[in-house]
Every structure is written in C-alpha cells, then in structure tokens.
C-alpha cells in the first residue's frame, strides 16, 4: 500500500539533507539535493583512493562500488547483468542507440512528440546521414502519446520506437506500458528515456516491455551528478554492438581477439568515478527504503497542491497536460518570460527551471510554446516551501 509520507518522516529526511538549509529547491527535475549519507559515501571512497591509491581502492571496495548495479536492478525489477552504470541519461541512451549499428535509407524511427531534444539530435545525425526518417506519433486529446495512433503507423520499416516517459517540459506521464505492449507484439525495439521517471515512478521493466531504459542518478533519485543507469533487456543484448569498446567491455583473449561481454556492462567504460558509484548506491538504497510507491504518492500530492494554487493565481497559466501527472509543474506568468521568472526567484533564494524549445522541440512547437517556467518537487518539498514559491511569484507580478 502506498501512502504519502508523514511530516515527521519528511522532517527527518530534511534534517539529513544539507541543501535544504541554504536553498528553496524547486529544480529537482534538473538535479535534486543529495543526502548527507550520499555525500559521505562519495567522500569515503575518495579518501580510500587517496590513502590506498585509486586502483587499489577500487579493487578493495568492489563490493561497495558494485552495489549500485544490484540496487538499480532491484529498483527496476531487472537482473544486475541487465544494468550498465553510466555517467548520465544521454550517455546511456546514446550508447545503446549507437550500438544498434548502421541505418539504411527508408528505415523509420517513431517517437512521441515529447522526446528529449538530446535524443532527437542523436537520432537525427544518424538518420540524416543514412536517409532514415524520424516520425512523430500523434498524441491524444490530453497530450499523451496515443497507442492506437502508433499501431496505425507500423510497417516493416519501423526499426525503433522511442518514448520519453516523463517529458522535461511539464507534468504529463506517457502510457509507457501500452506502447510497450505494441512494441513487443510487433517485435520492434523500444527505448525509453526515463530520466525523470527513475526514482519518481515505480518502474517494472518487465511490465513496461522495453528493451532499453535510461535514467539519470541526479534527479528524483537524489544521486550525484555524473551518474546514470542503463537497463538493457537480457535477450536484447546480442542486438547491441557497442560503437567502441575497451578493456572492460571487450577484453582481448590470448589470441588477441576482443571478447565482448555478454552483460549490459558491454556498454560501460572501464574508467568511471567509483566514488560517485558509491554515492549512487547510497541514494538508491535510500529510495528503496522509503519505497518508490510512497515517494510517488508524496510527490503527487505536493505537485497537485502547487498546480492548484498556481492555477488559482490571476496571471499564471499552468501548462501541464496529460491525465496522470508527475512532479514537474510547468507554467507561465503573464508579461514575464520564463527565464526572467527563474532569475527573479533566484534572487529570493528559490531555484526553479526554465526551458526553451530545444529540450522538447516537437511538443513545444505543436503547442505553440516558446518557453515554460518549471517548478519541480521532491518528496522533501514542504508546504512552507510551496507557500514561499507562491509568495515569490506574487511578488514578481506586483
């Protein structure tokens, strides 16, 4: 049973989060605030590296540094062999995409209109060179990608379906599992960008039916910057030939032949920050301890309150679409551009995000939007912080 967290539990977690004392943070979708224990885990490994030598520390602390993989697998209902540890969302997503190999003229990539701009850029570079196409799957009236519309677009030239589960520019949640059922039924590779979903939504990769799912450590999970998770379904691994390999992903055998790993680590690099992996492991452990269902319930409650309060303010338009909503709240303030709203709130000690078109170009363009202000909440967010944000916005409009 999921339930929002009690104020006492939230207070206790805030007491263990140094950042909440110095900033009013509404940019958890950009990057959240790590706990003191996550910082300590990073620091402890850096100290081990400094005292033993980094290579020796890596060998000695293998158990700690590998914990992130095991915990990430638990978080996603996957196997540890299906998890690669990466340095962010795009490095994982991009490595998996590049590993699909060459594209041919006429092949098709179908994307929802909320696709992350970085993924689109990656796909476009390859598609343009090969003469492949990128086509947008229509959305339903609520703005979500429409599974029936996807079904109508399919033919044997479709080589990839890509979905950004929780778009970067608002609170919409896409029906990832409904798209997955279609992708599975037709045997089409299915990539999910879960940068905003990991740590915020309960995720069961088997239920979602994806072949690849990428996530970032620094967002809802509250892990360190420079970390990410990549899930690759075990049966799909043989379809992925890394764009390049190293001594970790494909060590040479006695004959000098590269032996490509048969787990998701074939998409990892031998060089990585093990200190950050230790921090990520701690963040994962904390999220699993709280329970993702509870995190989801708490974020939903706070985001909904914020949305309702913003919608009731004259001069503010809430721009979130969809039916089910995430912790990202998008809005515009009449007469002010989003960047100015963000800058003015920053002078009051309040951090929000602001996006232009480039992060979600198809969605912004189709809705006639050029910018949005984005306040994103965490389970750490209190009602007092929501009130401070609302008061801050009122001040701007005077």
Ligand X SMILES: Cc1ncc(COP(=O)(O)O)c(C=O)c1O
**Contacting ligand X within 348-377 (CB under 6 A):** none
Exactly one of 99, 112, 168, 192 binds ligand X (CB under 6 A); that residue is 168
Structural tokens at position 364:
């912004």
Nearest to 26 by CA among 276, 394, 397, 378: 378
Is there binding between residue 229 and ligand X (CB under 6 A)? no
**Span from 82-90, 202-210, 309-317, 319-327 in contact with ligand X (CB under 6 A):** 82-90
CA torsion through residues 136, 137, 138, 142, sign? negative
- How far apart, in whole angstroms, are the C-alpha atoms of residue 99 and residue 266? 10
Exactly one of 17, 27, 35, 90 binds ligand X (CB under 6 A); that residue is 90
Exactly one of 100, 132, 195, 284 binds ligand X (CB under 6 A); that residue is 195
Nearest to 189 by CA among 77, 111, 76, 72: 111
Q: Smaller CB distance to ligand X: residue 116 or 362?
A: 116
Exactly one of 139, 164, 200, 249 binds ligand X (CB under 6 A); that residue is 164
Among left, alpha and beta (phi > 0; psi -120 to 50; other), residue 13 is alpha
Which DSSP string do the residues of 162-209 spell out, in sequence order? EEESS-TTSSB---HHHHHHHHHHHT--EEEE-TTTTTTS---HHHHT
**Span from 135-143, 147-155, 188-196, 373-381 in contact with ligand X (CB under 6 A):** 188-196
Q: How far is the CB of 372 from ligand X (least distance, A)?
A: 13
Is there binding between residue 143 and ligand X (CB under 6 A)? no
Nearest to 169 by CA among 343, 377, 375: 375
- The angle subtended at Cα 62 by Cα 290 and Cα 50, nearest 5°, is 100
Number of residues counted as binding ligand X (CB under 6 A): 12
Q: How far is the CB of 219 from ligand X (least distance, A)?
A: 7
Q: How far, in whole angstroms, is CA 49 from its chain's centroid?
A: 29
Exactly one of 26, 57, 108, 118 binds ligand X (CB under 6 A); that residue is 118
Q: How far is the CB of 117 from ligand X (least distance, A)?
A: 8
Structural tokens at position 85:
């540890």
Exactly one of 76, 83, 85, 88 binds ligand X (CB under 6 A); that residue is 88
Site residues (vs ligand X, CB under 6 A): 88-90, 116, 118, 164, 168, 193, 195-196, 216, 228
């Amino acid at each position: 049973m999921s339930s929002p967290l009690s104020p006492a539990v939230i207070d206790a977690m805030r007491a263990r989060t140094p950042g909440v004392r110095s900033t009013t943070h509404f940019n958890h979708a950009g990057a959240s605030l790590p706990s003191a224990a996550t910082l300590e885990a990073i620091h402890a490994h850096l100290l081990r590296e400094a005292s033993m030598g980094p290579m020796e520390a890596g060998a000695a602390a293998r158990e700690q540094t590998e914990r992130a993989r095991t915990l990430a697998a638990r978080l996603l209902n996957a196997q540890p062999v299906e998890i690669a540890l990466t340095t962010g969302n795009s490095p994982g997503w991009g490595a998996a995409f590049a590993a699909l190999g060459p594209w041919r003229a006429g092949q098709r990539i179908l994307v929802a209109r909320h696709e992350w701009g970085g993924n689109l850029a990656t796909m476009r570079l390859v598609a343009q060179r090969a003469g492949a196409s990128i086509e947008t799957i229509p959305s339903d009236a609520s703005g979500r990608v429409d599974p029936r519309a996807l079904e109508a677009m399919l033919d044997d030239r479709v080589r990839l379906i890509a979905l950004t589960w929780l778009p970067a520019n608002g609170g919409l949640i896409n029906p990832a599992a409904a798209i997955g059922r279609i992708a599975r039924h037709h045997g089409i590779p299915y990539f999910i960008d879960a940068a905003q979903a990991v740590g915020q939504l309960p995720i069961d990769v088997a239920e979602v039916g994806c072949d690849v799912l990428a996530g970032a450590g620094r967002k809802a999970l509250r892990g360190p910057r420079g970390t990410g998770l990549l899930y690759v379904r075990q049966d799909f691994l043989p379809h992925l030939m890394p764009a390049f390999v190293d001594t970790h992903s494909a060590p040479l055998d006695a004959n000098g032949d590269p032996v490509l790993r048969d787990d998701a680590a074939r998409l990892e690099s031998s060089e990585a920050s093990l200190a950050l992996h230790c921090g990520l492991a701690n963040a994962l452990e904390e999220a699993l301890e709280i329970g993702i269902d509870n995190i989801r319930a708490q974020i939903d409650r706070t985001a909904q309150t914020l949305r309702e309060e913003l919608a009731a303010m004259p001069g503010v338009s809430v721009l979130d679409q969809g039916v089910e909503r995430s912790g990202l709240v998008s809005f515009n303030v009449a007469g002010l551009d989003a960047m100015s709203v963000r800058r003015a709130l920053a002078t009051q000690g309040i951090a929000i995000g602001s996006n232009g078109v480039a992060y979600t170009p198809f969605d912004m363009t189709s809705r006639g939007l050029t910018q949005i202000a984005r306040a994103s909440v965490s389970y750490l967010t209190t009602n007092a912080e929501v009130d401070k944000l609302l008061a801050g916005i009122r001040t701007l409009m005077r």
